[in-house]
């Protein structure tokens, strides 16, 4: 028998009697601006959190430094726990949607994660809400297997989930396993066997339940599906025995809300990696222009220094970067000489620091497009710089998956890049995005020191 899905209800208080009679598993409320999920591919190498106070970037606070040191300890041989941060609430408004059925919850996963997961475990961390139900405070995705094809150890993954829950003061956890190799339950005559396909995931479900119980956190339900798409069956692995067929994820209220707010829902994780993947042709073209661009920058700096006003060089370089951001906003495609000049400009500390302010300004989307273009066309420390700026912008705007991919690219290009290391550490430890906005405020002050008015700093 198939369980039909109960629709979401947007911005409506649920009936109190109905809520009291419902399992809390199916009454999770999703706030509109709480979509900064972890995305945790397994098997990605751990990185040391060193070199954080290198010249050219603000020194970390003692709290952030301690977080980095804590994160560095014990990273080896464990799943990556926080490529992308959880969906922390930045707008405490009461606009929300309500989930009353596991099928609806599963259909909403692509919107919450930011892309359609495959061969993944998606964990929803619930915190205590009010009489209307618990609130989804974090969404965490893990790969079921590493790049070498080996399955992630159940205990390792469960340990990562437990650490995130402790950080977020969780009261309940829900999990969705997506695996195209899983066999959904079959019926034999009139007798249904809803758990006949659970064996593949018994170790994982058991490890999650034990680790969470040790933290006094309940595992409210675990469900499985071969894929999250219209017409795909889902079934229970833990909790009340239920089954159903998924509706089109694109029609869920959560997805529609995200689209209306301008937040992307991508078809797959590969769409993210393509945003920062190296373009060999563009890289070769920019490399051919880069030495000339750097020579011109050095000449301009020398002239400014001889005049006794070295800041005039930084001001000129900043004007050029801001001009090219505006060009991107108008839809212009930048050529290799322009990209080379941008790379040279971003080597200036003041210019680089000011870009954090651009991430919270009116042209943030254009700036992200520019950082992506630079990351694809540059190498080494220059590529790391552009990718780190993209990662920061994505982080503060709630696009956790993109932030993780961008910071991966930055650290692959330069493992000791100080700002990329700091942001990656914050991401893994679940630091709330609003706490990183202090970097944006410092960017406004840096611009003002150069005589450039970027407007009113974002709150």
Q: Say how many C-beta atoms besides its own lie within 10 A of residue 6's C-beta.
A: 15
For 275-303, the pLDDT digits (tens) are 999 999 999 999 999 999 999 999 999 99
What percent of the chain clears pLDDT 90, i.e. is strictly above it? 41
Tokens at residue 63, please?
A: 């709290």
Residue 55 in this model has a pLDDT that exceeds 80: no
CB 61 within 8 Å of CB 140: no
For the residues 166-186, what does the mean pLDDT come to? 82
Query: How many angstroms separate the CA atoms of 124 and 134, rounded?
Result: 11
| Residue 17 confidence (pLDDT) | 35
Nearest to 323 by CA among 459, 456, 452: 452
Query: How many angstroms separate the CA atoms of 455 and 441, rounded?
Result: 11
User: By mean pLDDT, which of 78-82, 140-144, 179-183, 385-389 is the weakest?
Assistant: 78-82
SS3 177: strand
CA angle 364-383-442, nearest 5°?
A: 45
For 100-115, the pLDDT digits (tens) are 788 888 988 888 888 8
Better pLDDT: 31 or 52: 31
User: By mean pLDDT, which of 87-96, 237-246, 446-455 is the weakest?
Assistant: 87-96
Query: How many angstroms separate the CA atoms of 124 and 141, rounded?
Result: 9
Query: How many angstroms separate the CA atoms of 238 and 37, rounded?
Result: 23
For 304-338, the pLDDT digits (tens) are 999 999 999 999 999 999 999 999 999 888 999 99
Residues paired with residue 115 on neighbouring β-strands, in sequence order? 266
Q: Is the dihedral of CA 106, 233, 18, 165 positive or negative?
A: negative
Query: How many angstroms separate the CA atoms of 263 and 240, rounded?
Result: 33
Residues paired with residue 122 on neighbouring β-strands, in sequence order? 141, 176
Query: How many angstroms separate the CA atoms of 172 and 109, rounded?
Result: 17
Name the band, by pLDDT with cuts 50, 70 and 90, for residue 235. Answer: very high
Name the band, by pLDDT with cuts 50, 70 and 90, for residue 186. Answer: low
| Residue 312 confidence (pLDDT) | 94
CB 272 within 8 Å of CB 405: yes
Residues paired with residue 174 on neighbouring β-strands, in sequence order? 124, 221
pLDDT, mean over the chain:
76
Name the band, by pLDDT with cuts 50, 70 and 90, for residue 255. Answer: low
Going through 6-76 in order, the beta strands assigned E by DSSP cover 9-10, 28-31, 38-40
| Residue 457 confidence (pLDDT) | 67
Query: How many angstroms separate the CA atoms of 221 and 209, rounded?
Result: 10
| Residue 381 confidence (pLDDT) | 96
Q: How far is CA 331 from the centre of its chain?
A: 26
């Amino acid at each position: 028998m198939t369980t039909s899905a109960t629709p979401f209800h947007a911005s409506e208080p649920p009936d109190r009697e109905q809520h009291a009679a419902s399992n809390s598993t199916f009454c999770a409320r999703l706030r509109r601006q709480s979509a900064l999920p972890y995305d945790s591919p397994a098997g990605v190498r751990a990185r040391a959190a060193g070199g954080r106070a290198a010249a050219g970037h603000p020194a970390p606070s003692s709290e952030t430094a301690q977080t980095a040191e804590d994160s560095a300890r014990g990273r080896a041989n464990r799943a990556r726990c926080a490529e992308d941060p959880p969906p922390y609430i930045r707008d405490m408004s009461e606009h929300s949607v309500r989930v009353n059925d596991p099928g609806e919850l599963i259909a909403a996963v692509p919107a919450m994660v930011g892309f359609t997961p495959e061969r993944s475990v998606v964990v929803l961390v619930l915190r205590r809400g009010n009489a209307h139900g618990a609130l989804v405070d974090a969404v965490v995705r893990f790969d079921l297997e590493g790049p070498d094809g080996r399955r992630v150890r159940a205990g390792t993954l469960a340990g990562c989930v437990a650490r995130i829950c402790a950080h977020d003061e969780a009261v309940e956890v829900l999990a969705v396993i997506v695996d195209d190799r899983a066999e959904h339950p079959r019926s034999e005559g009139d007798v249904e066997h809803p758990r006949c396909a659970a064996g593949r995931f018994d170790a994982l479900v058991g490890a999650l339940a034990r680790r969470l119980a040790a933290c006094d956190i309940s595992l409210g339900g675990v469900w499985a599906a071969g894929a999250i798409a219209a017409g795909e069956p889902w079934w229970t692995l833990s909790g009340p025995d239920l089954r159903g067929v998924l509706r089109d994820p694109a029609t869920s209220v959560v997805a529609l809300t995200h689209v209306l707010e301008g937040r992307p829902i991508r078809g797959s994780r590969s769409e993210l990696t393509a945003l920062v993947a190296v373009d060999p042709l563009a890289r070769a073209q920019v490399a051919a222009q880069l030495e000339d661009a750097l020579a011109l920058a050095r000449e301009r700096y020398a002239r400014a220094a001889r005049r006794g006003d070295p800041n005039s060089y930084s001001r000129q370089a900043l004007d050029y970067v801001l001009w090219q951001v505006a060009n991107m906003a108008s839809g212009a495609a930048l050529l290799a000489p322009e990209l080379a000049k941008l790379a040279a400009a971003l080597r200036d500390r003041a210019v680089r620091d000011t870009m954090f302010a651009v991430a919270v300004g009116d042209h943030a989307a254009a700036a992200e497009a520019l950082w992506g273009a630079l990351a694809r066309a540059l190498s080494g420390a220059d590529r790391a710089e552009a990718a780190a700026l993209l990662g920061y912008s994505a982080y503060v705007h709630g696009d956790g998956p993109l932030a993780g991919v961008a910071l991966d690219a930055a650290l692959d290009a330069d493992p000791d890049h100080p700002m990329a290391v700091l942001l990656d550490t914050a991401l893994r430890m679940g630091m709330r995005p609003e706490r990183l906005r202090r970097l944006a405020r410092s960017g406004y002050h840096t611009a003002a020191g150069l005589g450039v008015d970027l407007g009113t700093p974002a709150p």
